[in-house]
Amino acid sequence: MTIPGRFMTDDKGTFGEHTAHVRWPVIVQNAIDDMKTAIKEVETQDGKTQGESIKKGLVSLRQEILDDAVLRPFSEQEVLVGRVPLSFNEYLSQRKDAHWFNSEWLFSEVYLYRRINVLFRFQRLWADFDIFDRLKQSTFESSLYGVTELALRYRSLKSQLEKRSADDDETLKLLFKEFVDISLWGNATDLSLLTDATIEDIKSIQGAKVRQESESKILVNDTLKAWEHLKAETTTTAGGEVRVDFILDNSGFELYADLMLAAFLLQSKMVTKCIFHAKDIPYMVSDVMLKDFDILLKDLKDRQFFPVKDELSQGALDLFADDISDHVKNGRIEFRENSFWTTELDYWNLDKTETKYNGCEIFQDLLNSNLVIFKGDLNYRKLTGDRKWPRTTKFCEAIGPLATNGISLLSLRTCKADVQVDLPHGVDEELTKLWEKDHPGQGSWWCSSGKWAVICFSAK
């Protein structure tokens, strides 16, 4: 197998190039603006002084990007204080000529968020501050329509589940498909892309009607393969633990949708335990940290945050929050974090040979899982190495050793980057032509628009 190179930030006409030149400066500027607000809310002079130092660092970082500066290694002190994995410096020691606009997209994007985090780690009073929290919360709060609708849907589906007969696998299969779709399209609220999304934008991509219309937008759909696999695992391990792991993506609405899928799996008794894997630093604007789980449950109970007035909606929100809290209390849902998820390493490093940055440790643990669900676009990029695979390349080929190393995985991804595999012949050409009509010169960007999705399964 010939392994293609990775997408670069200087690949002309790609979404990766656009990301480096346009999106990154905007993201850092948003962080600068949020720091201005946060500093005003600090009461102590030390806090304000340290906050100003962070803001100054963010301004310099943004200028670095605009100037296309060399990607510098982290200093010894930055590595120590910022708890930066040495994989970043190992990479840069081999690519000393890497610039912001001439580097591997996957590396430089992850590197950006590590650089941001180091600025906060150096200031004691701000070390654990999540610069993206304000945006996470405001966007989730704007998702009232979608949150309420899904809570009511959960209540209804839970009732159907409780009433079904024990041997009614057909109903269970239909509900499995519904909750997988909910989890899939929850990714459509990726904050790092929807930087200017309005309430109406968010509402439009969260409604049930839109999800139904979006069926035709799922270009690869292995839901039934995943269903058959999990059903077989449940049968084989009758009476024992059946475990599903979620490698998380975004907080807020997407995490809410992921928890819905987990609640269904547990309620249906297909699964006995769900483990959620979160990030250890503020990352990619919207990614889930451990704290975001507790915040979400608090938000669902807060009638000022979600001001629903009718008793039915209030009851549905409370029911879901209570069910999740009960699962956590009884050990059926567990949250974990690990620095591996915020390194630049792709998931081919989930292997027993990767002993330096926790790849081996996580790999050995995931072997105990009956199904590992990788959520979102970045996880898909890391599964495929963010490489320039022909778009008809089989998924099992593009994920390399992950196809045969003993982990059964399901990737739920709305397409928001240049990498794409497993398409039937002719589909890429058809969609490129369609997108080109309204986006001259950017036909291939259909794959970065978030309008299409894939559900890809690989059995161990």
Confidence of residue 253 (pLDDT cuts 50, 70, 90): very high
pLDDT band at 161 (very low <50, low <70, confident <90, very high): confident
96-113 pLDDT, tens digit per residue, is: 999 999 999 999 999 999
Q: What are residue 288's phi and psi, to 5 degrees? A: -75, 130
- Per the CB < 8 A criterion, the answer to whether 453 and 185 are in contact is yes
pLDDT tens string 176-217: 998 999 899 887 754 454 444 454 554 556 556 665 677 889
For 279, residues 6+ apart whose C-beta sits below 8 A from its C-beta are 248, 287, 288, 289, 337, 341, 342
pLDDT of amino acid 207:
58
Lowest average pLDDT, out of 209-218, 341-350, 398-407, goes to 209-218
Check residue 209 and give its pLDDT: 66
Cβ atoms of residues 5 and 390 within 8 Å = no
- The pLDDT assigned to 12 comes to 96
pLDDT (mean) for 168-179 = 86
* Nearest in space to 220 (alpha carbons), one of 450, 370, 403, 412: 412
For position 189, what pLDDT does the model report?
56
Label residue 263 exposed, middle or buried (CB < 10 Å: 0-12, 13-18, 19+): buried
CA-to-CA distance for 203 and 142, rounded, in angstroms?
Answer: 8
pLDDT tens-digit profile of 259-303?
999 999 999 999 999 999 999 999 999 999 999 999 999 999 999
Q: DSSP alpha helices (H): ranges in 268-417?
A: 290-301, 311-329, 359-366, 376-383, 395-398
Q: What is the pLDDT of residue 169?
A: 85
Average pLDDT over residues 4-30: 97
Q: Helix, strand or coil for residue 144?
A: helix
Top-confidence residue, 193 or 366: 366
Determine the average pLDDT of the residues in 239-254. Answer: 94
Cα separation, 457 vs 329, in Å, equals 31
Adjacent-strand bridge partners of 411: 374, 456
> What's the chain's average pLDDT?
93
Convert the pLDDT of each residue in 36-94 to its tens digit.
999 999 999 999 999 999 999 999 999 999 999 999 999 999 999 999 999 999 999 99
Structure tokens at 455: 């559900």
Say if CB 99 and CB 71 are below 8 A apart. yes
The CA distances from residue 26 to 58, 133, 167, in Å, are 12, 17, 53
Strand order in the sheet with 218-221: 218-221, 453-458, 409-414, 371-375, 243-247, 273-278, 333-337
Tens of pLDDT along 407-452? 999 999 999 999 999 999 999 999 999 999 999 999 999 999 999 9
Q: How high is the pLDDT of residue 212?
A: 66
Q: Are 260 and 179 in contact (CB under 8 A)?
A: yes
Q: Please compute the mean of the pLDDT values over residues 372-399 and round it to a whole number.
A: 98
Question: For position 402, what pLDDT does the model report?
Answer: 97
179 alpha-carbon distance from chain centroid: 17
Sign of CA dihedral 92, 94, 97, 99: negative
Is 70 exceeded by the pLDDT of residue 31?
yes
Domains along the sequence of the chain with CATH: 15-126 (1.20.930.60), 143-458 (no CATH)
Specify whether the CB–CB gap between 150 and 256 falls below 8 A: yes
Residues 306 and 141: beta-carbon distance below 8 Å: yes
Lowest model confidence (mean pLDDT) among 1-5, 145-149, 199-203, 304-308: 199-203
Q: What angle do CA 146, 148, 154 make, to 5 degrees?
A: 100
The mean per-residue pLDDT over the stretch 28-40 comes to 97
- Is the per-residue pLDDT at 160 higher than 50? yes
Identify each DSSP E strand in 200-272 by its residue range: 218-221, 243-247
Q: Give the tens place of pLDDT for each residue, 67-78.
A: 999 999 999 999
Q: Where are the beta strands (DSSP E) in 128-184?
A: none
Q: Residue range 160-177: average pLDDT?
A: 82
Q: Tell me the mean pLDDT in the region 395-411.
A: 97
Q: How far is 120 from 51, CA to CA, in rounded Å?
A: 9
* CA atoms within 13 Å, Cβ hemisphere of 71: 29
Q: For residues 317 and 319, what is the distance between their CA atoms, to the nearest angstrom?
A: 5
pLDDT bin (cut points 50, 70, 90) of residue 162 is confident
Which two three-digit tokens encode residue 78? 């930055």
